[in-house]
Structure 1
Amino acid sequence: MISRWLMNRKSQNKEQPLANMINLFKKSEDFVESEYKLNEKLVYIAYYEPLIDHKELNENVLKGLKENPTYTLEEMKEAVPNANSLWITHSDELREKVMHGFVIIYDQPLPEKCLAIQANQENNRSVAPPETEFSVSGPQEAFIESLDTNIYLIRKRLPLPQLQIKELSIGKLTQTRVVVMYIDGIADPDNIETVIQRLNSIEIDQVIDANALSQMITDQTMSIFPQLIHTERPERVAAVLAEGKIAFMANGSPDAIIGPATLIEFFSSLEDYYLHWQIASFLRLLRFGAVLFSIFSTPIYVAVLTFHYELIPRDLLSTIIASRSNIPFPPIIEAIFLELTIELLREAGARLPTKVGQTIGIVGGIVIGQASVEAGLTSNILLIIVALAALASFTTPVYQMGNTIRVIRFPILFMAAFFGGVGVAFCGLYVLIHLVRLTSLGRPYMEPLFPPRFADWKDAFVRLPFNRMSKRPIYMRPLDSGRFNFKRATSKSDFDE
């Protein structure tokens, strides 16, 4: 008898998947199930109250049923003035729709199918100017947490049917919507399959943000260098999609992830393409120089003062000795103290409210710097070097690369203290070898430097005029490599010639 009861129970559960899911919904107190009597017939309307727009529910669902009393669910579907209504027969689909703000209607306590009508509320912030990738010129729109709005911002800039979107669902608990975007006929199919396959292979209970997904699909997760570009600017995504790259976004995240990426792209700003090419090239070279100065200036100072006094000119040496005459610490302790102070001020300024954070950064830096010099803890020269190095680290347009530069200075600093110039050179070679071996979605990270592809140098350290960039990047292996006809773009078009 018990085995027969269990078999009947199992078969009943298989035959009533929607009823089992509805019973699971009812365990939560914010799930509402209401009974309505229409023409002597009882119907049930159920939904999660916090997810529902009550104005939409009353005007487009309940009002339509009351004004057009019907007998069957099919007639109810016709009576409700809502285009986003569909039939549901599977429990997985029922869970997805109800958890995204759909109202379900059924005509029996244990339904085999039910009618789902969209009535969700949208509490999203409006499109605002970018914060981490701000530029003086160019569009002032940034992604928000609504995935549909973000897709609209991309399609507005790329109004073509070749722009393809593949939607995935990632996260056992969150079931987060993730979309992969590319342009069919330009993007390399191998890159497309690589991104989709890696996203599909992720097994995790929840997806917090698109940035977390990017860490899970990178080629080398132990590397400190970012291998995919994170951006909040729709025009940047549209530009790289036209080059043949792949982008993906997650619902609830205000960032898009772009790949494959190269090291040089992390130092390229969108403003480079809004300015004249000579000015843009100068600013880009300035960024590269600033990053090198930020990484190596303090370690070289420590190495020279610890091991290589003979490298300092005699006139400058006397100035340095005078500035350090009252300092009881070796250069490494002095440098570590200032570097950590700068990092603390930067972290405190980022975590505090905007106005308070700016005050802490400016006033705190001046007060602490001046006090440390007067107390004999640091020298004036090192204070200037560390301040300039911190300022130079802010020139990187992509925030993730700026964090990397902040961190790699410290191991180079310790190597300089123990091994002098040899330690600095060793760290520089180690970083260079690591970058050469690094890949992004299987593509070379150091392109066009390694492997050398001189055709891609037109938009590397300098940016040539637009009419000189008639080809898409070679390393992307685009199906359509040509942007425009070079001869027609460079020929004169005056009306009298």
Structure 2
Amino acid sequence: MKKQFNDSPDLICKEFQFRNQTLVIHFVNYQVKKDLLERDLLGTLTSAKRAWSVEDLQNKIPLASSTVERSLANISPALIHGSVSVYIEGESQVVLFALPNLERRALNRAETESLVFGPQISFTESLVTNMNVIRWRLDTDDLVVEKLIVGERIKSEVRLVYLKSLANEENVQTMRQRISDLKVDEVEDTSVLGQMIEDSSSTVFPQLITTELPDRFCNSISKGRVGVLVDKSPTTLIGPMSFFNFFESTEDLYMRWNMGTFIRFLRLFAMFLSIVLTPFYVAALTYHYEIIPSSLLISLGQSRATVPFPPVIEALLLEMLIEFLREAGARLPTKVGQTMGIVGGIVLGQAAVKAGFTSNILIIIIALSALASFTAPSYLMGSAIRIIRFPIIILAGAWGLIGIVFALSFLAIHLLKQHSLGRPYLAPLYPFEWKDFNDTIFRTTFQKNDRRPNYIMTKDRYRFDKQKSNKKNDVKRI
């Protein structure tokens, strides 16, 4: 056993004589609960009136979890995860008792996906805690949880979660097969696992949603999707997903349907604005002065009179400045980062205008584009939007509006080719399914939201009987 642990000082070996037999106990220091070890295990072992056997260890020790193992390869991982092994000299097997001393972070508010309405808790790094929250929210025996082990050198526990009566078996099998087929040393986090199993690794767009919100995870599971949890990771994976699902938030469900629809349209419009606003400025000032109103053209000419760079270089410099400020603000401590973002943006913006490196109007446009990209609830999707803005600016500087049209056409073709767990990425826009618009692009009243998304291919397409739900049984007023 010591050789298996490379003579680690953390491996504790206790050998003692009891009624003409030798008992040996192994455990990893700091990984077990010492009070349970001393009171329930050692106390019971030393207070027995006759010699112990393997059957007695399993039946008479007042601990719920006990297993019998013969292979050293299976005993070592159990000790690492907080088990205590009891070996009786002369036996060909040991008894393992699970006494893990788990360090768990308490349930806190979500940091990357903040909400105004609805539940505020987020997942933690403990798989036990996360599964406890999911079982609490999805209180049904229809919930299926499958255990998978990933990693050749450092093994990680992965849980596959879905509703048996809803989830499409093909989606479940695809997710299960992709995870099981992984041949890697280790899986560091859920987001890393998502990159390993997604349909296309060459695209900048995420195909599986990563979330730290239990309510969003459980809401997706109740719609027939498949979820994945990884031990020691505070985030989860959900699939299959549509491109438009990345602009949804569970907060939309907690608002009135008309407000939720407005906010979803606002996010989609902000995404489009973030992509085309700066390239349109570059194209207009480089090739298409005639589309600019005369009064605005005069002020543009005055603000750019001292700028030595062409519009495309000017725009790229400011976009890079915004990215520098965003990255610096994210890496610095919270209070310092907020100050750096605000003060740095104001000071550098004013200094750039007075030094003649850029114009006032471009600063406003860049700020609007940056703000619009941050409206996406998914951080990965917001980052993807910011990245694709750079090549579109370059094409706008090279060919004007023709370059923008070419870039948007290429982007549309690229999105049409993408899939999420084999399902179309642009659903319900392509293939066109009007009834699925309610669950993706806009929200209607709950009485009309009787269908689950068609592209997920759930076993049960309907949430409820629409005709019965619309019947009113109110008391008639006189």
Distance 1:444 1:396 in 2: 21
Are 1:61 and 2:41 an aligned pair? Answer: yes
Which residue does the alignment assign to 1:105? 86
Match of 2:440 among 460, 471, 485: 460
Q: What amino acid sits opposite 1:427 in the alignment?
A: A
Q: Identify the residue that residue 420 of structure 1 maps to in structure 2.
A: 400
**Deviations 1:314-342, CA, capped at 9 Å, x for gaps:** 11100100111111111112111111111
* Residue of structure 2 in register with 1:10 after alignment: none
* CA drift at 1:87: 1.1
Specify the alignment match of 1:370 in structure 2: 350
Q: Secondary structure at the match of 1:179?
A: strand
Q: 1:69 to 1:377 in 2, by over 3 A?
A: farther
Give, in whole Å, the separation in 1 of the partners of 2:131 and 2:125. Answer: 11
Deviation of the 1:84 alpha carbon: 1.0
Return the match for 2:291 from 311, 315, 322. Answer: 311
Q: CA deviation at 1:480?
A: 1.0
Aligned to 1:14: none
1:227 and 1:439 in contact (8 A); partners too: yes
Q: What is the Cα-based RMSD across aligned positions, in Å?
A: 1.4
Counterpart in the other structure of 1:290: 270
Return the offset for 1:105.
0.7
Match of 1:325, SS? coil
What is the TM-score with the length of structure 2 in the denominator?
A: 0.97
Q: Which moved more, 1:401-410 or 1:58-67?
A: 58-67
Report the counterpart of residue 17 of structure 1 in structure 2: none
CA displacement, residues 183-238 of structure 1 (integer Å, 9 cap, x when unaligned): 00111101111000010000000110011111111111111110000011111111
Unaligned runs of 5+ in 1: 1-20
2-structure distance, mates of 1:344, 1:454: 42
Task: State the partner residue of 1:168.
Answer: 148
Unpaired segments of 5 or more residues in structure 2? Answer: none
Alpha-carbon distance between aligned partners in 2 of 1:465 and 1:66, rounded to the nearest angstrom = 67
Q: How does 1:23-422 map to 2 (within 5 A)?
A: 23-25=3-5, 27-68=7-48, 70-73=50-53, 74-108=55-89, 112-422=92-402
Percent identity reads: 40
- Residues 320 and 70 (structure 1), Cα distance of their counterparts in 2 relative to 1, 3 Å cut: farther
Post-superposition Cα deviations, 1:241-266, rounded to whole Å, max 9, x if no partner, equal 11110001100011110000001100
Q: How far off is 1:75 after superposition?
A: 2.4
Give the Å deviation of 1:121: 0.6
Q: Distance in 1 between matches of 2:456 and 2:243?
A: 14
2:450 matches 1:470? yes
Cα deviation for residue 64 of structure 1 reads 2.0
Distance 2:372 2:6 in 1: 57
Report the residue type matching 2:400 in the other structure: G
Q: Distance in 1 between matches of 2:136 and 2:225?
A: 18
8 Å Cα contact 2:2/2:11 also seen in 1: no
Normalized per residue, the structure richer in helix is: 1
Q: CA deviation at 1:68?
A: 2.7
How many Å separate the matches in 1 of 2:433 and 2:406? 27
Q: TM-score, normalised by structure 1?
A: 0.93
Q: Is the 8 A contact 2:452 2:458 kept in 1?
A: yes
Offset at 1:59?
2.1
Helix, strand or coil for the counterpart of 1:257? Answer: strand
CA distance in 1, matches of 2:378, 2:106: 23
Report how many residues are paired.
476
Aligned twin of 1:8: none
User: Runs of 4 or more off by more than 4 Å in structure 1?
Assistant: none
Work out whether residues 392 and 407 of structure 2, in 8 Å CA contact, stay in contact via their aligned partners in 1.
yes
